[in-house]
Protein backbone atom coordinates (compact mmCIF):
# COMPACT_ATOMS: atom_id res chain seq x y z
CA UNK A 1 0.00 0.00 0.00
CA UNK A 2 1.42 3.37 -0.94
CA UNK A 3 1.35 6.54 1.18
CA UNK A 4 -1.71 8.01 -0.60
CA UNK A 5 -3.77 4.83 -0.05
CA UNK A 6 -2.79 4.77 3.66
CA UNK A 7 -3.88 8.42 4.04
CA UNK A 8 -7.23 7.72 2.32
CA UNK A 9 -7.79 4.63 4.50
CA UNK A 10 -7.07 6.64 7.69
CA UNK A 11 -9.53 9.34 6.64
CA UNK A 12 -12.15 6.72 5.86
CA UNK A 13 -11.66 5.07 9.28
CA UNK A 14 -11.90 8.43 11.08
CA UNK A 15 -15.10 9.33 9.23
CA UNK A 16 -16.64 5.93 9.95
CA UNK A 17 -15.72 6.19 13.63
CA UNK A 18 -17.21 9.67 13.89
CA UNK A 19 -20.35 8.52 12.08
CA UNK A 20 -20.78 5.49 14.32
CA UNK A 21 -20.27 7.63 17.43
CA UNK A 22 -22.92 10.09 16.27
CA UNK A 23 -25.31 7.26 15.41
CA UNK A 24 -24.75 5.67 18.81
CA UNK A 25 -25.38 8.96 20.59
CA UNK A 26 -28.58 9.54 18.61
CA UNK A 27 -29.76 6.02 19.44
CA UNK A 28 -29.12 6.55 23.14
CA UNK A 29 -30.98 9.88 23.15
CA UNK A 30 -33.90 8.33 21.29
CA UNK A 31 -34.04 5.43 23.74
CA UNK A 32 -34.12 7.88 26.64
CA UNK A 33 -37.03 9.80 25.19
CA UNK A 34 -34.95 12.39 23.33
CA UNK A 35 -33.26 15.62 24.22
CA UNK A 36 -31.93 16.83 27.49
CA UNK A 37 -33.91 16.67 30.73
CA UNK A 38 -34.72 20.35 30.48
CA UNK A 39 -35.57 20.45 26.77
CA UNK A 40 -39.26 19.71 27.24
CA UNK A 41 -41.75 22.51 27.66
CA UNK A 42 -41.65 23.93 31.16
CA UNK A 43 -38.53 22.05 32.19
CA UNK A 44 -36.11 24.85 31.37
CA UNK A 45 -37.77 27.34 33.73
CA UNK A 46 -37.90 24.97 36.70
CA UNK A 47 -35.84 25.67 39.79
CA UNK A 48 -34.58 22.87 42.01
CA UNK A 49 -36.93 22.04 44.86
CA UNK A 50 -35.57 22.82 48.30
CA UNK A 51 -35.09 19.62 50.30
CA UNK A 52 -36.05 18.76 53.85
CA UNK A 53 -34.99 15.66 55.77
CA UNK A 54 -37.70 13.46 57.22
CA UNK A 55 -37.54 10.64 59.76
CA UNK A 56 -39.32 7.32 59.33
CA UNK A 57 -41.43 6.49 62.37
CA UNK A 58 -43.44 3.30 62.00
CA UNK A 59 -45.31 3.56 58.69
CA UNK A 60 -45.02 7.34 58.42
CA UNK A 61 -42.51 10.07 57.65
CA UNK A 62 -42.20 12.90 60.15
CA UNK A 63 -40.82 16.34 59.33
CA UNK A 64 -40.13 19.09 61.84
CA UNK A 65 -41.20 22.44 60.44
CA UNK A 66 -39.91 25.57 62.16
CA UNK A 67 -39.32 29.15 61.03
CA UNK A 68 -36.13 28.16 59.15
CA UNK A 69 -37.78 25.34 57.17
CA UNK A 70 -38.40 25.74 53.44
CA UNK A 71 -42.00 24.78 54.32
CA UNK A 72 -42.43 27.51 56.95
CA UNK A 73 -44.82 29.65 54.89
CA UNK A 74 -48.07 29.05 53.04
CA UNK A 75 -47.43 28.61 49.32
CA UNK A 76 -44.05 26.95 49.81
CA UNK A 77 -42.99 23.61 48.28
CA UNK A 78 -40.19 21.15 48.99
CA UNK A 79 -39.09 17.56 48.53
CA UNK A 80 -38.89 15.54 51.74
CA UNK A 81 -36.05 13.01 51.75
CA UNK A 82 -36.14 9.97 54.02
CA UNK A 83 -34.94 6.39 54.15
CA UNK A 84 -38.44 5.38 52.96
CA UNK A 85 -38.11 7.51 49.82
CA UNK A 86 -38.89 11.04 48.74
CA UNK A 87 -42.21 12.87 48.91
CA UNK A 88 -43.29 16.19 47.39
CA UNK A 89 -44.85 18.53 49.95
CA UNK A 90 -46.74 21.78 49.50
CA UNK A 91 -47.93 24.05 52.29
CA UNK A 92 -51.26 25.14 50.86
CA UNK A 93 -52.45 27.27 53.82
CA UNK A 94 -51.60 27.96 57.47
CA UNK A 95 -51.64 24.39 58.82
CA UNK A 96 -52.68 22.64 55.59
CA UNK A 97 -50.25 20.53 53.58
CA UNK A 98 -50.42 18.15 50.65
CA UNK A 99 -48.00 15.26 50.25
CA UNK A 100 -47.50 13.59 46.89
CA UNK A 101 -45.47 10.83 45.30
CA UNK A 102 -42.31 12.28 43.76
CA UNK A 103 -42.42 9.69 40.94
CA UNK A 104 -43.64 11.12 37.63
CA UNK A 105 -46.43 9.06 36.09
CA UNK A 106 -44.88 9.40 32.62
CA UNK A 107 -41.66 7.38 32.86
CA UNK A 108 -40.93 7.14 36.57
CA UNK A 109 -38.45 10.02 36.90
CA UNK A 110 -38.13 11.67 40.30
CA UNK A 111 -39.70 15.12 40.25
CA UNK A 112 -37.08 17.55 41.54
CA UNK A 113 -38.12 20.92 40.14
CA UNK A 114 -40.74 23.59 40.59
CA UNK A 115 -41.97 26.74 38.96
CA UNK A 116 -43.78 28.73 41.62
CA UNK A 117 -46.20 26.26 43.19
CA UNK A 118 -46.10 23.89 40.21
CA UNK A 119 -44.04 20.69 40.44
CA UNK A 120 -42.00 20.04 37.28
CA UNK A 121 -40.49 16.73 36.15
CA UNK A 122 -36.92 17.26 34.92
CA UNK A 123 -37.06 14.45 32.35
CA UNK A 124 -39.80 15.55 29.96
CA UNK A 125 -41.38 18.65 31.53
CA UNK A 126 -44.64 17.24 32.92
CA UNK A 127 -46.19 19.71 35.35
CA UNK A 128 -48.40 19.00 38.36
CA UNK A 129 -50.33 21.28 40.71
CA UNK A 130 -50.07 20.99 44.49
CA UNK A 131 -52.90 18.44 44.57
CA UNK A 132 -50.96 16.21 42.14
CA UNK A 133 -53.20 16.89 39.13
CA UNK A 134 -51.48 16.96 35.72
CA UNK A 135 -51.32 20.52 34.35
CA UNK A 136 -49.34 19.57 31.24
CA UNK A 137 -48.01 16.26 29.97
CA UNK A 138 -46.73 13.94 28.77
CA UNK A 139 -47.65 12.48 32.21
CA UNK A 140 -50.89 10.49 31.74
CA UNK A 141 -52.23 10.64 35.30
CA UNK A 142 -52.09 12.48 38.61
CA UNK A 143 -49.50 11.86 41.30
CA UNK A 144 -50.46 9.64 44.22
CA UNK A 145 -51.52 11.69 47.23
CA UNK A 146 -50.63 10.76 50.82
CA UNK A 147 -52.31 11.76 54.07
CA UNK A 148 -50.59 14.78 55.66
CA UNK A 149 -51.29 15.96 59.20
CA UNK A 150 -49.62 18.91 60.93
CA UNK A 151 -49.53 19.28 64.71
CA UNK A 152 -47.13 20.93 67.15
CA UNK A 153 -44.62 21.82 64.44
CA UNK A 154 -44.42 18.27 63.06
CA UNK A 155 -45.78 17.17 59.69
CA UNK A 156 -46.70 13.48 59.59
CA UNK A 157 -47.06 11.86 56.17
CA UNK A 158 -48.70 8.42 55.85
CA UNK A 159 -49.75 6.28 52.91
Q: Region 56-85: what's the mean pLDDT?
A: 94
Is residue 31 predicted with pLDDT exceeding 90? no
Q: What is the distance between the alpha carbons of residues 130 and 27, in angstroms, rounded to a whole number? A: 36
In a domain? residue 38: no
15 and 48 share one domain: no
56 and 128 share one domain: yes
Is residue 69 predicted with pLDDT exceeding 90? yes
3 and 78 share one domain: no
Is residue 15 predicted with pLDDT exceeding 50? no
11 and 63 share one domain: no
Number of separate domains in the chain:
2
pLDDT reported for residue 8: 43
Residue 88 pairs in a beta bridge with: 79, 100
Neighbours of 154 (CB within 10 A): 13
20 and 74 share one domain: no
Is residue 58 predicted with pLDDT exceeding 70? yes
Q: What is the distance between the alpha carbons of residues 72 and 70, in angstroms, rounded to a whole number? A: 6
CATH number of the domain to which 143 belongs: 2.102.10.10
116 and 52 share one domain: yes
The residue range of the domain holding 26 is: 1-31
Angstrom distances, CA of residue 73 to CA of 35, 37, 88, 91: 36, 30, 15, 7
47 and 18 share one domain: no
Are the beta carbons of 140 and 106 closer than 8 angstroms?
yes
In a domain? residue 20: yes
DSSP secondary-structure letter at 143? Answer: P
26 and 62 share one domain: no
Amino acid sequence: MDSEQQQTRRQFCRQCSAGLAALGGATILQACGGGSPTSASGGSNAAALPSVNGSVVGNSIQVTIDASSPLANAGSVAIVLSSAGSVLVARTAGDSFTALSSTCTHQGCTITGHSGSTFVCPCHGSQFDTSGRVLSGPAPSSLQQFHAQFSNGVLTITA
